[in-house]
Amino acid sequence: MPKSWNATYSTSGELSPLLNDPELRTIGIGTRIFLGGAQGYVSWNGTQFNTSVPKNTSGIPKSNSATIAVIGDLKKMHTDFIKAGYFEKYGVSIFIGIGIPIPLLDEEMAAFVSIQNEQIETTVFDYGSPEHTTMGTTNYKDLQSGEIQINGKKIRTAPLSSISKARTIAGELRKWISNKEFYLTEPVQLFPTKTSLNKLNIKGE
Amino acid sequence: MKRRYVLTFPPEIVDEPITYNLIRNYDLKINILKAEINPGKEGNLLLEFESEKANLDKGINYLEEKNIACLPIEAKIRFDQQACIHCGSCTAVCFSRALTMHKLSWELIFEPEKCVACGLCVKACPLELFHLDF
């Protein structure tokens, strides 16, 4: 809504797999995952994958960073975890449930997966302006409280990805693993490090 | 008690002071939340009534005699709750707070009695689960 009437946010914060393995030590090409209610795989790094984003003191990137490309068998998926969506003035999209098991290999991984919402900081952009102007920073504890403060103004917040579904997926994946229906894999290859995005510079008219 | 109703006026009655009569004759406290009245065409009016139940019943009887459909607001909104994935997109635009997220379960709470039929959720829901008949 115009004039900073509301702010929306994505990911389930402290439950988001990529934020629980910010160094991408266990998530890489070939990692077996929960995908839309079936088993699938991480196939590559995703669109706008960027590992050069500055990290905060908890080791979490301060803005959009790692993304993944995934592959799976649509016929084995369940409509509880895959839905077509349409965003007004944006276009067709998809809601797909993804769960990634993260093995606790050592103390560092244990520390990473214990991340709390208040340690996950992110940048607030104004998507109403053509340049997507940076308005300030916030964290997921504040975002999930329903209200953030930007430049002294209180702004209502709303999620765009389902936190209740994320919990269902985490529980489901846990069940699969303990029932020995799902086996953890080591990545075939780790994601590239120090990648960045090139800006599209528009030259002249 | 407070209740919200949508009144649907047939074209031939649009020029009668119905709301005035409801206030004057049945002692109803009325708040107009949304109105669509076009002379010569069907009109819709979203009202919040505050009154004793007996007076409200009499007022509704009067409306029925006048051939004005009077439906509680929840009858005018259709929401396919079963298909909802609780993403929360609709809560971003619902300024009457009829749509909110439960703080513990993160499931969507829909309280039709708070709805003002603005219709913003109809476009905000990516699964197109809201339909507003107004």
Question: pLDDT tens across B72-126, in order?
Answer: 998 989 999 999 999 999 999 999 999 999 999 999 999 988 999 999 999 999 9
What tokens were used for A81? 């975890």
Strands A6-9 and A153-159 come out as parallel
Number of domains making up chain A:
1
In a domain, A198, yes or no: no
* Chain A residues touching residue B81 (CB < 8 angstroms): none
In sequence order, the 6+-apart residues with CB closer than 8 A to the CB of B20 are none
Contacts of A8 in chain B (CB under 8 A): 89, 92
The verdict on a CB contact (< 8 Å) between A146 and B123 is no
State the sign of the Cα–Cα–Cα–Cα dihedral B94, A6, A2, B122: negative
pLDDT digits (tens, 9 = 90+) for B50-65: 999 999 999 999 999 9
Residue type, A39: Q
Q: What is the mean pLDDT of chain A?
A: 94
Residue A100 lies in a domain: yes
Summarize pLDDT for A165-175 with one digit per residue, the tens.
Answer: 999 999 999 99
B127 vs chain A: nearest CA distance in angstroms?
Answer: 5
pLDDT in tens, A129-165: 888 899 999 999 999 999 999 989 999 999 999 999 9
Is residue A97 domain-resident? yes
Q: Domains in chain B, please, with CATH?
A: 2-75 (3.30.70.260), 78-132 (3.30.70.20)
Residue B66, CA distances (Å) to A205, B21, B32 in order? 64, 12, 19
Give me the domain span that covers residue A35: 6-178
Contacts of A37 (CB under 8 A, 6+ apart): A76, A77, A78, A80, A81, A82, A97, A172
Burial class (CB in 10 A: 0-12, 13-18, 19+), B9: buried
pLDDT digits 0-9 by tens, A60-71: 999 889 999 999
Q: Return the structure tokens found at B18.
A: 């119905």
CB-nearest to B87 from A84, A156, A161 is: A161
